[in-house]
Chain A
Amino acid sequence: DSGVTQTPKHLITATGQRVTLRCSPRSGDLSVYWYQQSLDQGLQFLIQYYNGEERAKGNILERFSAQQFPDLHSELNLSSLELGDSALYFCASSAATGELEAFFGQGTRLTVV
């Protein structure tokens, strides 16, 4: 158990809809990262938050947004969903400084039909 909790584990929704994925980081970790893994693809970095502030952005679509709340949990919002958004979405967390090893949750499998 990595200590990172993601909900829900599975999500099936229709095209055009909006969903919210939730992540609770390890206790004490200030950084939260979101990654997308599509079929046969590596892990694509989407966005990082550090102590509530956006820290780094990857190839995140404009239809996607994220935030980190004062209690440090994070949410990834995906809107106007398309079939191609079907993927595994991973959240990871790491300590503020001195550690680059990120700990991953079990992921949310999103299926858009």
Chain B
Amino acid sequence: DQQVKQNSPSLSVQEGRISILNCDYTNSMFDYFLWYKKYPAEGPTFLISISSIKDKNEDGRFTVFLNKSAKHLSLHIVPSQPGDSAVYFCAASARWGGATNKLIFGTGTLLAVQP
């Protein structure tokens, strides 16, 4: 059962345009969401996160939007740059107790930004 879904395996955008990466989840217990970026032969790198008490979080060119009723989140990159080309993973977590808990990852979206 895939609790976190990224239905677009790939996305191609022009440099300078907006990239929108989507993610859906099924578990209503998830209350924290993260985006990771991964280059080939490297580990995933944390990009941006959002708590379920918010609907938007912005960090420079990256903005994450959360729609709890639709169980949907999206990552917007504006403007897109060729260096943004990577695989983007959406991840979700549910906090239980006081310690950090496991992240459930989607299958990733390969973003290609064309110069």
Task: Give A contacts to B, CB under 8 Å.
Answer: 2, 4, 30-31, 33, 35, 41-45, 48, 50, 55-56, 58, 90, 92, 94-97, 99-107
CB pair B99 A103 closer than 8 Å? no
- Chain B residues 43-57 with CB under 8 Å of chain A are 43-46, 49
Return chain A residues, CB-CB under 8 Å to B43: 2, 4, 90, 92, 104-107
Task: Tell me, rounded to whole Å, the shortest Cβ–Cβ distance linking A23 to chain B.
Answer: 11
Q: Contact at A58–B102, with CB atoms within 8 Å?
A: yes
> Residues of B at under 8 Å CB distance from A?
6, 32, 34, 36, 41-46, 49, 89, 91, 93, 95, 98-108
Q: Which of the residues B34, B46, B95, B102 comes within 8 Å of A33, measured between beta carbons? A: B102
Which of B46, B104, B106 gathers most chain A CB within 10 Å? B46
The secondary-structure label for the interface of chain A is loop
Contact B49 A100 (CB under 8 A): yes
Please give the distance in Å from A91's CB to the nearest CB on chain B. 8
Main SS class of interface, B: loop
Is there contact, CB below 8 Å, between B100 and A96?
yes
The answer to whether B103 and A33 have CB atoms under 8 Å apart is: yes
Q: Which residues of A contact B102 (CB under 8 A)?
A: 33, 45, 48, 56, 58
Are B45 and A94 within 8 A (Cβ)? no
Can you show 28 pairs from A to B with CB atoms below 8 A apart?
A2-B45, A31-B100, A42-B6, A42-B105, A42-B106, A45-B104, A48-B101, A48-B102, A55-B99, A56-B102, A58-B102, A90-B44, A92-B43, A92-B103, A95-B100, A97-B98, A97-B99, A97-B100, A100-B34, A100-B100, A100-B103, A101-B46, A101-B49, A102-B46, A102-B103, A104-B43, A106-B41, A106-B42
Whole-angstrom distance between the alpha carbons of A90 and B49 in the complex?
20
| CB contact between A102 and one of B6, B100, B108 (< 8 Å): that residue | B100
Q: Which residue of A lies closest to B87 (CB)?
A: A42
